[in-house]
Homo-oligomer: A and B are copies of this chain.
């Protein structure tokens, strides 16, 4: 049995620009995010005779990888198993992220699964950039849509990262950040609304590719905020980071209908009233989680205000370590 644990992430600024080729159009484009201790776990072992995927109450069984790929609850693993020609296995999946939470949980599960499969089936270990390319292509194949790369790097590497789309391939830089100090100020709250990122994202990608002026201008604003956020984060200027998250959100919420929702705006308003520096919805928005930065001495008050506004505050501390692999 191989067990792999990987982290979800909170994106601080610049998401969606990680979907090719959008980031190439904005020279300042980058995605800044941080791994948090919202874990996903994959347990994997060979199982002669058939494929079985268990997650909570759901158990999916299939005679082939292709059949597995046609089961909604196990489709991503099935697509991966078919593409990699993996022999039968039993996999148990667990995620601490709320479903549709916007924390990149499903990509983290895929990354953990791919790493587990390398060990369980004695396949060559891919370096991070090839593993990310593989995972992101498998997701594109499953969804039939362009997908991004920002969820996979934190799952593999941990820590605070800057992911810059560049001609010829992304440059990934680990930011020198005091993660404990960031953790004192970071509050992640689940809105109770599940989201579906692919549909939202495609509408936005399409409008940017068609060069709609308003969408293009908002992406320029998102890229600029992300470019300012990375050095502010490294300088430990968290009030400024919070302000830039809010500025990023002021553009992002206008990219398409449905990214902003009344529940998300109410959470952001409640946090601001309780003294937070700023915040934004995680991932594609439209529900999911909200990330808030607050002065440490306002943290308890902000969390209470978020709960009163209907949110559920998650344990989500930044973590600097990457993927954990254990086998027995």
Contact = CB atoms under 8 A, between A and B. Distances in A.
- Bin chain A's interface residue count: 20 to 34
Given A24-B137, A24-B140, A83 B209 contact: no
A145 interface: yes
A196 interface: no
A140 B24 CA distance: 7
B133 A168 contact: yes
A134 B169 CA distance: 7
A322 B211 CA distance: 37
B144 A211 contact: yes
Contacts of A145: 21, 209
A70 interface: no
Contacts of A147: 21
Interface in A140-169: 140-141, 144-147, 166-169
Nearest to A138: B167
A24 B141 contact: yes
A103 B171 CA distance: 32
Contacts of A144: 25, 209, 211
Interface string A101-140: 0000000000000000000000000100010011001101
